[in-house]
Amino acid sequence: MKSRIQGSFLAFILSLFLSSVMVPVALAAPFPNSEGHQGECLLCHAQESFFAYLENGESISLTVTTDHTKNSIHWDENIYCADCHTDQSDNPHPNPDTTTCKDCHPNNEYDEEVNLANISFKLAYLTLRDYQLNLNNICKDCHQSEAERSADSTHQMVFDQGNLSAPICTDCHKSHFVVKPNQPRSMISEICSECHLAVYTTYAGSVHGAALIGEGNEDVPSCVDCHGVHDISGPYDITFRNASVIMCTTCHSDESLMAPYGISTQIIETYLKDFHARSSNLFILSNKNRPKDQAVCFDCHGIHNILAPDNPSSQVYPENLLHTCQKCHIDADITFPRTWLGHYVPTIEDNPILFFINKFYPTLIGTVLFVSSIYIFFDARKRSQLKNSIDKNEQEGK
């Protein structure tokens, strides 16, 4: 027992010694280049109360959380601090203002433990956003296709219009604690919620959102499944509206995906044959830039607030359906929604008349074709027989 206490005491002394020595040692040597260094930066940057001042007087924390950084996906891929912070790869850093170091260390001698909290460093950027935007450019060196797609996004468009708060890579993916955004999948929606909180709240109450956020069910769509990942398009343009049916059908026509929830995949086929859709091909191949005047899925079912049709709050719940129809069919009467079958193939129990019509007509058409073919066959045969005999008589007459 005694020896164990002695051991831990020794370890404590040793760690005190090491911590007091290691920081000056690290500072004394120039930073290794990106291949060499594996987080020596953290010797300083893990310290709390480590600040720099921007040109506008704002202070920013230079502290990097070690746990986050070492658990980030970049760390696993051997990508370290200086790979992104290329301008800070030398020690002392050429930028920020190195004179603040040289004031006290004119010979670059860092041989004592330094309490960084007492020193005011300066960063040569006007604002924090300037600094973030500058660093953000480095992402595309590795993530070229993502950067290209982002350049077409509605976020970039808003940014180009002068809104500097429009999200850049690091706003969604974070700078140091970079992880796969879909693990768990609900994280995607949480990332979006940082800006789109109202939509997120609505989504979280929807049938999709409740399943993803509440139950951790990964079968349901998160934000990016409909809106895209990097090339996020604006939801108000025609292309988005026209493409929306395909977004819904991609999952809702997938038998294996729908089967566990008892959702019929026929709803898509029947919808596409319906007035509103006119037909699947028309939807897919019609002039992509022309607005559709007919209802698409979300016009009836809702967008972020989509609910299961048997939920009394759903826009397509029988009691609410008239109100939903009236969005377009302003004069629609109470009987109007009842004349619609929903997305279901007519059955003999629920829709006997329609069921009968769909059986009757093929039979009628078949019968008519069969009888008239027989009639025409014998009529044509008799005519050719008569013609032959007349020709024969004429020849004999000659």
Partner 1 sequence: MTEYTVRQINRAKALSRRMYKLPNGERIYLRFPKYQRIEHQTLILSFFTLSFSGLVQRYSHLKIANYIINQLLGGINNVQFIHHVAASIFIAQSIYHFAKIIRMLLIDQELGYMWPTKKDFLDIWGIFLYNIGKKDAKPLFDRFTVEEKLEYWALIWVNIIMIITGLIQGFPVFFTKFFSREILPISKAIHSWEAVLAVLVVLIWHTYHVLVKEKNNSIFTGYLTENQMKENHPLELIRILEAIAFMKEISKIP
**Contact residues for partner 1 (CB under 8 A)?**
275, 278-282, 285-287, 290, 293, 329, 331-333, 335-336, 338-341, 346, 351, 353-354, 357-358, 361-362, 364-365, 368-369, 372-373, 375-376, 378-383
How far CA 65 is from CA of 49, 162, 249, 333, in Å, comes to 12, 32, 43, 62
Pick the closer one to partner 1 by CB: 107 or 335. 335
202 Cβ contact partners less than 8 Å away, ≥ 6 residues apart? 209, 304, 305
Phi-psi sector, 162: left (phi>0), alpha (psi -120 to 50), beta: left
280 Cβ contact partners less than 8 Å away, ≥ 6 residues apart? 272
Identity of the residue numbered 192: C
CA–CA separation, 32 vs 81, rounded Å?
11
Pick the closer one to partner 1 by CB: 104 or 368. 368
Pick the closer one to partner 1 by CB: 323 or 381. 381
**CB distance 91 to 81 below 8 Å:** no
Pick the closer one to partner 1 by CB: 236 or 275. 275
Pick the closer one to partner 1 by CB: 78 or 358. 358
Q: How far is the CB of 357 from partner 1 (least distance, A)?
A: 5
CA–CA separation, 355 vs 142, rounded Å?
59
CA–CA separation, 356 vs 364, rounded Å?
12
Q: How far is the CB of 391 from partner 1 (least distance, A)?
A: 17
Q: How far is the CB of 321 from partner 1 (least distance, A)?
A: 13
Pick the closer one to partner 1 by CB: 28 or 246. 246
> Comparing C-alpha atoms, which of 304, 295, 301 is closest to residue 314?
301
- DSSP secondary structure letters along 317-358: SHHHHHHHHTTTSTT--TTTGGG---S----TTT-HHHHHHH
**CB distance 110 to 27 below 8 Å:** yes
Residue 53, H or E segment: strand 51-53
Pick the closer one to partner 1 by CB: 18 or 282. 282
